Structure 1
Amino acid sequence: MDKMMNANMPQLRSSSSMSPPLTSLTNKVGKRWKEYQGMNNWNGLLDPLDENLRAEILRYGQFVEAAYKSFEFDPSSPDYATCKFPKRTHLERCGLHNTGYKVTKHLRATSGIKLPTWVDKAPSWVATQSSYIGYVAVCHNKEEIKRLGRRDIVVAFRGTTTCLEWLENLRATLNNVVQPTATGITAAEPCSVEENGAMVESGFLSLYTSKLSDNPSFMSLQDMVRKEIGRILKTYEGENLSLTFTGHSLGAALATLTAYDIRNSFLRPPHVTVISFGGPRIGNRSFRRRLEEQGTKVLRIVNSDDVITKIPGFVFDEVEKKEGDVEGKGEMDAQARGRGTVAVVLGDRGGASAL
């Protein structure tokens, strides 16, 4: 797990030796917090990589690591694919002390794949349909809120671990993303598929929207996130808030999809940012356009050697202009940069550049 995460952040870590633990962060984001959350599409912060932005990227990366560390990987355990730690001590038991955040909700994702009957004879871990995928955490410490300039809400997702999640990753056909139906004053206005045209890979959409067929009361990941975010926004109504979605690999795809959905599900959501690590390309041009039109800011951290971020079939259309330099980096043109989806590519020689 650590190797997978570190593969996407080697140059970030090396620019100032090893990354500082969360307990030692002293960089003050303060009044510039919207700038670091992508309000200006990170213009002027990427080359060279701003130290405050670097610290923020690493901080969110550590939240993703906590989603991995809290997952029960042992297939022989009766608790396989669940969260090992209670919400109250979740971050501390993952080695993240004094973060100023508290976990408020553990999240589960369910595969919509229909299994053949012979699977009943296979080990239970082979057919695990629903598993712990991440968590929601809220900044509650007054000093950390002051340092950050707002109360931050983090939704963190791990990458692929279970058999059915791997199978979902292979479902590369595109499905329409149906807009939320208005259900009250907090819901966005509905939008038809024909007007929208946004499509994402069916496997990611399945993990986000599926429920257990034998337990209709079991909520989908989508339902869980909407309900928890709605509760938190109501609790802290009137405060300066931000929503930050982060994840690695599969988790990066879910972070982007969740941010898109949450931004559409509430009439007046706070600033929404995605900081993803090693994420695949997940949707079509219409999906990207909708992300940018709704004001969601996406910062993708990718390694130039990471095949997953380029696999055909993961068709998130980045506007890319190849420069042919020795580090294999690309550079996004000015028009695309202005729309709010930015990728930071870590080249073989270190440093960072925007796609």
Structure 2
Amino acid sequence: MRLAINLSHHVMTTATTTTTRLAHRHRLVTAISTTLAPPKPTQRVIRIGKQWREYQGLHNWEGLLDPLDDALRSEILRYGKFVEAAYTAFDFDPDSPTYATSLHSRHSLLANSGFPDSGYRVTRHLHATSSVDLPAWVDRAPTWLSKQSSWIGFVAVSTDETEIARLGRRDIVIAYRGTSTCLEWLENVRTGLTCLDHHGSPMVASGFWSLYTTRARELASLREEVREEVRRLLSVYKGEPISVTVTGHSLGAALGVLTAYGVVREFGVLTTVVSFGGPRVGNERFGRELERGGGRVLRIVNTQDVITKVPGFVIEGGREGWVTKWLSETGWVYAEVGRELRLNSSDSPRKDVRAGNVATCHELGVYLHLVNSFMSSRCPIRATADQTNLDFLNLFARYRQRTRTPVA
């Protein structure tokens, strides 16, 4: 019991420190972005048209990943912008009365979060709720420390006719940010597998499942919010070619996989996950059922990013033996779900990326930079790679040079 209390206190302390740093980082971005932010790269917009199912992974992106197809690259970067918008719109400041909510309304979110020309309209805010039971001493801590529910992302739908024609269909996007609150950090370390039905499989990480399914007193669960909004949009645009694309970074990537599982089981539509730096989510049976139902997962992975290597263990090739049996009984045998696009910070044309630490390797900006730079496994960096699309990394690097103040 004493060990459990000490561990809980240690995790809470770590989560508090991390949350404070995130808030500090957010304030720095707000204060100096107008003077220090580097120019954004100009990305070529490529028409998808009738090939949209191929690019949504109907055939698991066969022949499109190595070398990386330019149209697929463009789409990955575009979906990354939705995740950036989810981060930008989130109120990181624990001293703010609107902490852990969206800074913007549905109508202005994309415009105020750096993506005004998306061709999409946000239709619903989304929230995640933790089911963690906190120790009694937390009652004496600041209220933000025990924030149970927080804004996690949004649902948007393509409404611009030119963009719909380019995509070849109407697209519903569900975008999630990564871990940002103390209780989300606590849920991240609840890595034991939990069953989704009474038959013992499929199984997923209990912490991620908690954030996806827990209801608050005045809020529906994330699963219920998504289900209600997707049902509404499918009804509104009934008869049109339509896709559901879920995208997220880190925790948001894990929730994206669970969201896709829920959507395909409920509606049976082709649902694609574009996952940036996501951890493992479930076991092999979970992955098979997701794909059988029409779910496709494209996992963008940085070899240097430790988050993509946890939680649990992966047993390759159906190996048998007492070790495999023991690990299975512990509930720690996971599987890599979906198709992988493997990148490597060490191949970056930028010295600051190659020399990055564990935290830097996990940054969304680094992932987008690597996608933009990658050509193939034989020739990792394309000659025309734009080297200026690390807005946040450059921002903090320049700020450190001016102030010599650590921000990470």
TM-score by length of 1: 0.80
Segments of structure 2 that go 5 or more residues without pairing to the other structure are 1-21, 26-38, 319-335, 349-373, 379-408
Secondary structure (helix, strand or coil) at the match of 2:93 reads: coil
Which structure has the highest helix share of the two? Answer: 2
Q: 1:319 to 1:94 in 2, by over 3 A?
A: farther
Coordinate RMSD, CA, aligned: 2.3
- The question of whether the paired residues in 2 share the 8 Å contact of 1:35 and 1:42 is answered with yes
Counterparts of 1:93 and 1:286 in 2: how far apart (Å)?
Answer: 41
Counterparts of 1:261 and 1:340 in 2: how far apart (Å)?
Answer: 15
Q: 1:316 to 1:271 in 2, by over 3 A?
A: farther
Counterparts of 1:312 and 1:262 in 2: how far apart (Å)?
Answer: 24
Secondary structure (helix, strand or coil) at the match of 1:78 reads: coil
Q: How does 1:71-86 map to 2 (within 5 A)?
A: 71-86=90-105
- The question of whether the paired residues in 2 share the 8 Å contact of 1:108 and 1:220 is answered with yes
Pair 1:95-2:114 in alignment: yes
- The question of whether the paired residues in 2 share the 8 Å contact of 1:285 and 1:316 is answered with no
- The question of whether the paired residues in 1 share the 8 Å contact of 2:90 and 2:100 is answered with yes
Secondary structure (helix, strand or coil) at the match of 2:108 reads: helix
Amino acid at match of 2:248: G
CA deviation string 1:135-161 (max 9, x = no partner)? 000000111000000000000000000
Counterparts of 2:208 and 2:47 in 1: how far apart (Å)?
Answer: 36
Pair 1:60-2:79 in alignment: yes
Match of 2:213 in 1: 209
Match of 2:338 in 1: 341
Which residue, 3, 16, 20 being the options, matches 2:42? 20
- The question of whether the paired residues in 1 share the 8 Å contact of 2:45 and 2:74 is answered with no
Pair 1:296-2:310 in alignment: no
Secondary structure (helix, strand or coil) at the match of 1:239 reads: coil
Q: 1:245 to 1:319 in 2, by over 3 A?
A: farther
Counterparts of 1:280 and 1:113 in 2: how far apart (Å)?
Answer: 20
Segments of structure 1 that go 5 or more residues without pairing to the other structure are 4-16, 179-192, 321-338
Pair 1:156-2:175 in alignment: yes
Pair 1:200-2:204 in alignment: yes
Amino acid at match of 1:343: E
Count of matched residue positions in the alignment of Structure 1 and Structure 2: 298
Give percent identity, aligned residues only: 52
Counterparts of 1:318 and 1:123 in 2: how far apart (Å)?
Answer: 45
CA deviation string 1:284-331 (max 9, x = no partner)? 111111112112111000101000100242x577879xxxxxxxxxxx
Counterparts of 2:247 and 2:152 in 1: how far apart (Å)?
Answer: 12
Amino acid at match of 2:262: D
Pair 1:147-2:166 in alignment: yes
Counterparts of 1:274 and 1:318 in 2: how far apart (Å)?
Answer: 23
Instruction: State the 1:118 CA deviation.
Output: 2.4
Match of 1:137 in 2: 156
Which residue, 126, 129, 137 being the options, matches 1:107? 126
Instruction: State the 1:110 CA deviation.
Output: 0.2
Counterparts of 2:337 and 2:311 in 1: how far apart (Å)?
Answer: 23
- The question of whether the paired residues in 1 share the 8 Å contact of 2:280 and 2:337 is answered with no
Q: How does 1:1-355 map to 2 (within 5 A)?
A: 19-20=41-42, 25-178=44-197, 193-194=198-199, 197-212=201-216, 215=217, 217-266=218-267, 269-313=268-312, 315=313, 341-347=338-344, 348-349=346-347, 351=374, 352=376
Counterparts of 1:110 and 1:301 in 2: how far apart (Å)?
Answer: 26
CA deviation string 1:1-42 (max 9, x = no partner)? 8x9xxxxxxxxxxxxx97536xxx531011111111111211
In terms of Rg, which structure is larger?
A: 2
Counterparts of 2:253 and 2:289 in 1: how far apart (Å)?
Answer: 18
Counterparts of 1:248 and 1:317 in 2: how far apart (Å)?
Answer: 25
Q: 1:83 to 1:35 in 2, by over 3 A?
A: same
Match of 2:363 in 1: none
Amino acid at match of 1:99: S
Range with greater deviation from structure 2 (217-226 or 159-168):
217-226
- The question of whether the paired residues in 1 share the 8 Å contact of 2:260 and 2:271 is answered with yes
- The question of whether the paired residues in 2 share the 8 Å contact of 1:281 and 1:316 is answered with no
